[in-house]
């Protein structure tokens, strides 16, 4: 299942929505097939510049986004250089300005807290102008509400919202979530997905399970 490298737009004539993977040049950012990004304010192709912030090589941090995700306009991913060290008696980043203060360059990373990568699972929906902070993992099928600020991990198929983001509800029963996580329909061949779009959209998990059993 591979989108041609020259295919940027899933909807003809709509240049506000792109297959995000096509716009990625930074090797520390990976995006799965069919994930889309919409931007009606800026060029969506400038996602790396406008939406992935404080993402510098010094921390060797990654942004990992799964398949079939939907990312709304203005969503931001804030990395570790936005995290001043709160264990210090001052939030001022003295180690960053090592020349000014006669400090060792080797200790420059002490200016920030390294909380790790940002990881989005598959089929995740990130709402308008939501903010995802460093170190956060968002599970498969989760939904982040508009302008939410996500500071903690989000379990699969959970809707979160607010500042800071809090769980609102699970999208499905525990049984259905377990079934979807086992099924991993997003990893199916494209023709399998095409054959089962109606079942996916109408919530007929049993039909997907039957199909997988026949073709497994």
Query: Would you please indicate which residues are annotated as catalytic (active-site) residues?
Result: 84
Cα 3 from chain centroid (whole Å): 19
Alpha carbons 75 and 78: distance in angstroms, whole number: 10
Segment holding 194, helix H or strand E: helix 190-195
- Per the structure block, which two tokens stand in for 133? 């902070």
Number of H helices, E strands in the chain: 6, 15
Alpha carbons 199 and 168: distance in angstroms, whole number: 26
- Per the structure block, which two tokens stand in for 78? 């804030």
Asked whether 160 and 149 are in contact (CB, 8 A), the reply is: no
Segment holding 63, helix H or strand E: strand 63-65
35 HSE (CA, 13 A, CB side):
28
Q: Where are the beta strands (DSSP E) in 96-156?
A: 118-120, 125-126, 131-133, 137-138, 143-144, 149-150
């Amino acid at each position: 299942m591979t989108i041609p490298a020259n295919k940027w737009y899933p909807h003809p004539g709509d240049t506000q929505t792109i297959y995000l993977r096509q716009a990625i040049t930074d090797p520390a950012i990976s995006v799965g097939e069919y994930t889309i990004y919409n931007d009606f304010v800026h060029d969506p192709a400038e996602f790396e510049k406008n939406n992935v912030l404080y993402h510098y090589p010094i921390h060797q941090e990654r942004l990992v986004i799964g398949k079939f995700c939907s990312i709304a306009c203005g969503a931001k991913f804030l990395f570790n250089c936005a995290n001043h060290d709160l264990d210090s008696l001052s939030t001022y980043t003295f180690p960053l300005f090592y020349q000014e203060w006669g400090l060792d360059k080797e200790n420059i990373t002490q200016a920030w807290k390294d909380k790790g990568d940002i990881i989005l699972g598959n089929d995740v929906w990130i709402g308008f102008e939501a903010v995802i902070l460093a170190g956060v993992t968002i599970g498969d099928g989760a939904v982040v509400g508009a302008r939410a600020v996500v500071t903690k991990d989000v379990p699969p198929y959970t809707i979160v919202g607010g500042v800071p983001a809090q769980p609102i509800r699970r999208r499905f029963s525990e049984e259905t979530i377990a079934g979807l996580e086992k099924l991993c329909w997003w990893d199916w061949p494209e023709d399998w997905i095409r054959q089962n779009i109606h079942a996916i959209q109408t919530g007929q998990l049993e039909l997907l399970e039957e199909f997988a059993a026949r073709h497994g």
